Structure 1
Amino acid sequence: MNTTLPGRTMRLILLSILVWLGAGHAQAAPAISAPDIVLRGVAFDLPVQGLPEEGALGARLGERTLAIERGTDGQGLIPGLVIDAPEATLTLVDGDGRVLADASLATLPAWLSLLPALVAIGLALAFRQVIVALFAGILLGGWILHGMSAGALLGAFADSVNVHVLEAASDSSHMSIVLFCLLIGGMVGVISRNGGTRGIAERIARVIRGRRQAQSSTGLLGLAIFFDDYANALIVGNTMRHITDRMAISRAKLAYLVDSTAAPVSAIMLVTTWIGFQVGLISEAMSGIEGWQESAYSVFVNALPYNAYPLLALAFVFMVAWTGRDFGPMLKAECRAGLDGGRRDDLSNREAIVEEADIPTKPGIPTRAWNAVVPMLVLVAITLGGIYHTGATALGPGEHALRDIFGEGDSFGAMMWGSLAACLVAVIMTRIQRLMSMTETAHYWFEGVKSMLLPITILMMAWALANVNEALQTSDFLVAVLGDSLSPAWLPTVILLLAAFTAFATGSSWGVMGIMMPLVVPLAWAVLSHHGLAGTAEGMPLLYASVASVLAGAVWGDHCSPLAETTLLAAMASGCDLIEHVRTQLPYALLVGVASLVFGTLAVGHGISWWLGLAAGGLALFAILRLFGRRPTPATQAPAPTRQPATR
């Protein structure tokens, strides 16, 4: 009886369809993407969306009017935004002054972004409990990210593993390192049990007659494994540990020798897993500079002579090894190692774990060095071959320079192939010689894998803290501290100090290079251009020195930090407590760092030739070592008995 209902319903349906169609074609309303964290006084870029295609646009922050850079598809960016107040309201307006969008932005004191890293480092050095210290840093950073209220602590505690550690574990490059370490650990477990490592130790021991030769051999082996710092630390540390034990050389000294010939070698050699990353960063940083026509690889090569810290660090390793002199905590560690005949009863927790995880050679089997040498050669050959293959494939057909091929290679994939092949070769050689049954071989492969669980746990925690630092924009704050008013003469020195401190606080040399290189190169070019030095014979050494300062500072800070991956791997492979390694290495790294600062960046900045600065720096280091260093007590001079593995 109600005849109007169908017609009214139809009109409502049609109206709904028209509204839906209109909404589908309507442009999205402008919006401002407010970041989770804004540091007070630190510049950042603020994205905006839904911008109209035509018409004037602007942004207002208090009394200031800001420009908007238009992109495609309605995207835009407000670059270099700086907020100095605790709170601020940003308004997006059109040409007539009409408000299109607004957002309230709350800021944090910039120094808070540095607090988690400093707390983690301080606790680690004070209490020698690295995992607890890292967790405290992650928890503190999460609390800052959650707003620092009383209730935010619970959310920070939940996110510490569920968010930050999980994100670190989800990164493919991180997992490549984890798998590489596990496979290397498994290989070391097999070649330790089948007598391979004992065979190497016996062969080298035949020609080594004293502590000087043992330390020099460790340094030379570190130079030989130049292609990757991770592989360097794991191979050299595990190979030389038994030999240095026999010569009553402390595990702390071995860890120093390993650590100081790992990253420094990889950072300066022309064909390494670092080269592609470094050259890629330089290329990216140069892309926006007009008037500088030079290849990125040429810039890297020209910057090498100014890379003072790695060069002087390597020189100091052989000075220490050849003179037999030490000072500070390292001297005490060497005296302890000699006075107790290479054994200690007061092992730290880390050293005790390594001693318990040490895999003894199976009794009654021949100790053949080639059972360890062949898998290691396979590891090196497959890794280098894999880098070459992936680099050549990426570049495509045609003739390419070897440096370009290795620069484009997939180092992480190649390391995986090499470590897997080395494991298979070690297992096959063990079975062919009937040294162990398949069950026993698999068991000791897993024993080797288990020995890597502690360092991998620490690595995961360190990566999680790095994620927290990234969220808190720690590096942006450190870079902003400098400002833009730099003298060309002081430019390399300031960059070196900033890179070193950032690497020390974050524990990542690659992270520091990735963050700072795109900022430093344009900054250096702008400073030199302002003084009329860009592109001149006087200014280019300062530019190359600025590029080298990023690389050198990253390695220097990495050497000093207990959060650094290579520091951890060197300590683990050498069987040394991590904090003991940092505590004993720190005076040496600081001494070489100061020499690099005075005779490297400062000298170049004030017009002194790089070669003259390096020579003066080397002589100064040698003089300080002779003046303040002394040999361990006479009781340490005689070779000590071989350290016996702990009973299980």
Structure 2
Amino acid sequence: MKAMNFLMRKALLACLLFAATLSGNAVAESTEEGPWTLPRIVLQDVPFSISLADTTPTEDLWLSLNGERIELTPSDDGLSFSELSTGESQAALQLMQGDTVLAESTLTALPGWFSLIPALMAVTMALLLRNVMIALFTSLVLGIWMLYGFSAMGFIYAILDSCQVYVVNALTEREHMEVVVFCFLIGGLVGIISRNGGTMGIAERITRVVKNRAQTQLSTSFLGLAIFFDDYANSLIVGNTMKKISDTMRISREKLAYIVDCTAAPVSAILFVTTWIGFQVGVINDGLATIGNFEESAYSVFLNSLMFSFYPVLAIVFVLYIAGTGKDFGPMLKAERRAFHTGRVLSESMQHDAGPAPEEKDLEPKPGVPHRAFNAIIPMGVLIGVTMLAIYMTGLASPDRADDSLREIIGNANSFASMMYGSVAGCLTALIMTMAQRLLTVHEITESWFAGAKAVMLVIFVLTLAWSLSAVNTELHTSDFLISALGDTLNPNVMPLVIFLLAAFMAFATGSSWGVMGIMMPMVVPLAWAVLMHNNMTDAANMHLFYSSVSAVLAGAIWGDHCSPLAESTLLSAMASGCDLIDHVRSQMLYCLVVGLVGAIFGTLAAGFGLPWWICMLVGAALLWGVVQVFGKRAEDPIDIPAASSQSASESA
């Protein structure tokens, strides 16, 4: 029997090694391209390009695409065949020099709308199954299978590649790993300051000042607006800081996550001194570089576009309306009534699935330790202070930064490295203060740090799968299809609205606002300018259409991000607030849709037809106030509660 078990284990190991070899060979076959660089697949009637190696001879060089002769296109980036397209199910390629075949390959050409399937499937499954891990993994495998042309062996390769190739690549990308480490450090810091009584001390301090639920929600909102320099740091700090006090006031975790989420990215996107600025100006500049005789700088275009950022501004205004009035509607009202009348700040499904959140029990203050607020305030203050200082110092790192303004210096900073420095400094400060006061032993501090880090493991897994799916969407040319489908049908006056909706859909489907900005902005800037030139509308009176189109990419990306269960900011806000991800998305989506529609119609569209931006802002804010007053109700208002719930409420009280 032992011999049989040994042989079975050997056979299983051999099978796994063989499968891994198959996967590796499959990837090699798809990336070993000889004298040219080929896409894995192409989309029907969607332009693609093929670049050639520098060593390829250029005399009498041409390409045969399904029998059609294509001439070589020299460019600054090297030799390439650009704007290739096919309407057939395959793209038969031959690289020719004269009558000699240098290389040949046949690519699968899928219908363009196929590229949307994995992203839409991920979002739909996540909302229906309430399990984002299964939704992401299933969609990831489907997307990779599409890259293999839906072949039988391709399905096996897709399962193997999902982890061996895409997950590994996602985690080996430096910026992704910096986010992972930052999350672990913040989680560990929260673990220490929770266990040593610091977080409870803050909650008790705020409880003395804040007397009702509305004041608590406004305090959370203002704290979110105060930590404006980065959306990641904003979500993690505000959510973890306000969780205790919001539970005390019987505010649902869904409401806390909404306030955290909708005061993070919007404020970071529109203020002049944040970690977003450098990236946004950079991608705008990439687009301007393709426009001839355009004299305005990328930074000036960015500043002029801010006045048309209707969704980010109105999202903040709406949060303040909801928090200040204490009124809610839709799924959020249901969550708030549950929390207020029964004391259950978590949804029933989360209570049933996860019980009383055992990881939160590990973060309760150690029995007997004093609840001193400064044990949390000082480490958090060090985190913020060191991060801001590091942002400034890394922004000055380049020799040509000496004469830059403060905005430009911070815009050119290394935000990920700065947050890393700040979180390490915060952890060390919490450790030293805890040991100096003998609140916890070294062993207990270590356990507390790991308990806090363990609480972020789920979000790390989800982020990794989301990054992997985003890479697959890039290979499927999802954004190329959407842009090509709309690029030739744009009316100048509705162009900003179309761009806004396109950016929103892409961010919703991919879960990456920065990815959408990075992909769309270099395309939208020359596209918007070309549309204006085609209609003889490049004069100063019509420049608002250009600025509004630039702003629409940013605003649409944030809107789609807020509605997507795949978005990094959504994941981090839910994690920091201790809220189930799907509960957060479901309860927040109606609010985001309302604000997005008001901003799109009465902001972006109205401004496109010439209404001054400040009037659009005022009209949008007034309409949102009316929505809250007409449809909103307070959770404290009497409702008919089932007997079981009434008993639960009395017991918790």
Q: TM-score, normalised by structure 2?
A: 0.89
2:71 maps to 1:67: yes
Q: 1:52 to 1:507 in 2, by over 3 A?
A: closer
- Aligned equivalent of 2:493: 489
Match of 1:514 among 506, 515, 518: 518
The equivalences for 1:154-169 within 5 A come to: 154-169=156-171
The equivalences for 1:19-418 within 5 A come to: 31-49=35-53, 55-62=59-66, 64-70=68-74, 76-93=79-96, 101-342=103-344, 346-348=348-350, 352=354, 355-358=357-360, 359-396=363-400, 398-418=402-422
What letter corresponds to residue 324 of structure 1 in structure 2?
A: G
CA contact 1:186–1:444 (8 Å) conserved in 2? yes
User: Over residues 130-165 of structure 1, what are the superposed CA-to-partner deviations in whole Å (9 max), with x where a residue is unaligned?
Assistant: 111111111111211122123322211111111111
User: Over residues 317-354 of structure 1, what are the superposed CA-to-partner deviations in whole Å (9 max), with x where a residue is unaligned?
Assistant: 00111111111111100110011134568351698378
Match of 2:634 among 616, 631, 634: 631
| Cα distance in 2, alignment partners of residues 176 and 31 from structure 1 | 35
Q: 1:153 to 1:294 in 2, by over 3 A?
A: same
Q: 1:122 to 1:360 in 2, by over 3 A?
A: same
| Cα distance in 1, alignment partners of residues 355 and 170 from structure 2 | 25
What letter corresponds to residue 410 of structure 1 in structure 2?
A: N
2:558 maps to 1:555: yes
- Aligned equivalent of 2:470: 466
What letter corresponds to residue 314 of structure 1 in structure 2?
A: I
Q: 1:154 to 1:405 in 2, by over 3 A?
A: same
What letter corresponds to residue 516 of structure 1 in structure 2?
A: M
What letter corresponds to residue 139 of structure 2 in structure 1?
A: G
2:606 maps to 1:612: no
Q: 1:310 to 1:616 in 2, by over 3 A?
A: same
Consecutive unaligned residues of structure 2, counting only runs of 5 or more, are: 1-32, 640-645
- Aligned equivalent of 2:21: none
CA contact 2:273–2:407 (8 Å) conserved in 1? yes
Q: 1:99 to 1:165 in 2, by over 3 A?
A: closer
CA contact 1:198–1:369 (8 Å) conserved in 2? yes
| Cα distance in 2, alignment partners of residues 444 and 491 from structure 1 | 53
| Cα distance in 2, alignment partners of residues 234 and 353 from structure 1 | 23
CA contact 1:246–1:342 (8 Å) conserved in 2? no
Q: 1:105 to 1:346 in 2, by over 3 A?
A: closer
- Aligned equivalent of 1:581: 584
CA shift, 1:88, in A, is: 3.4
What letter corresponds to residue 287 of structure 1 in structure 2?
A: A
Q: 1:343 to 1:57 in 2, by over 3 A?
A: closer
Indicate the SS of the match to 1:539: helix
CA contact 2:202–2:372 (8 Å) conserved in 1? yes
- Aligned equivalent of 2:424: 420
Indicate the SS of the match to 1:104: strand
| Cα distance in 2, alignment partners of residues 332 and 373 from structure 1 | 33
What letter corresponds to residue 440 of structure 1 in structure 2?
A: E
Select between 210-219 and 150-159 the one with higher mean Cα deviation: 150-159
| Cα distance in 2, alignment partners of residues 206 and 136 from structure 1 | 49
Q: How many residues align?
A: 608
2:630 maps to 1:599: no
User: Over residues 577-635 of structure 1, what are the superposed CA-to-partner deviations in whole Å (9 max), with x where a residue is unaligned?
Assistant: 10000000000000000011111110111010110011101111111111111112436
CA contact 1:32–1:102 (8 Å) conserved in 2? no
CA contact 2:70–2:81 (8 Å) conserved in 1? yes
| Cα distance in 2, alignment partners of residues 579 and 53 from structure 1 | 55
Q: 1:77 to 1:377 in 2, by over 3 A?
A: same
CA shift, 1:395, in A, is: 4.1
Q: 1:65 to 1:490 in 2, by over 3 A?
A: farther
What letter corresponds to residue 625 of structure 1 in structure 2?
A: V
User: Over residues 159-212 of structure 1, what are the superposed CA-to-partner deviations in whole Å (9 max), with x where a residue is unaligned?
Assistant: 111111111111110010000000000000000011111111111111111111
- Aligned equivalent of 1:24: none
| Cα distance in 1, alignment partners of residues 71 and 546 from structure 2 | 31
CA shift, 1:92, in A, is: 4.3
Match of 2:544 among 541, 544, 550: 541
CA shift, 1:376, in A, is: 0.8
RMSD: 2.3
| Cα distance in 2, alignment partners of residues 253 and 30 from structure 1 | 55
| Cα distance in 1, alignment partners of residues 152 and 220 from structure 2 | 52
User: Over residues 270-300 of structure 1, what are the superposed CA-to-partner deviations in whole Å (9 max), with x where a residue is unaligned?
Assistant: 1111111111111111112112111211111
CA shift, 1:100, in A, is: 5.5
User: Over residues 98-138 of structure 1, what are the superposed CA-to-partner deviations in whole Å (9 max), with x where a residue is unaligned?
Assistant: 76654433311222211111111111100101111111111
Indicate the SS of the match to 2:214: helix
| Cα distance in 2, alignment partners of residues 397 and 160 from structure 1 | 42
Q: 1:69 to 1:445 in 2, by over 3 A?
A: same
CA contact 2:284–2:521 (8 Å) conserved in 1? yes
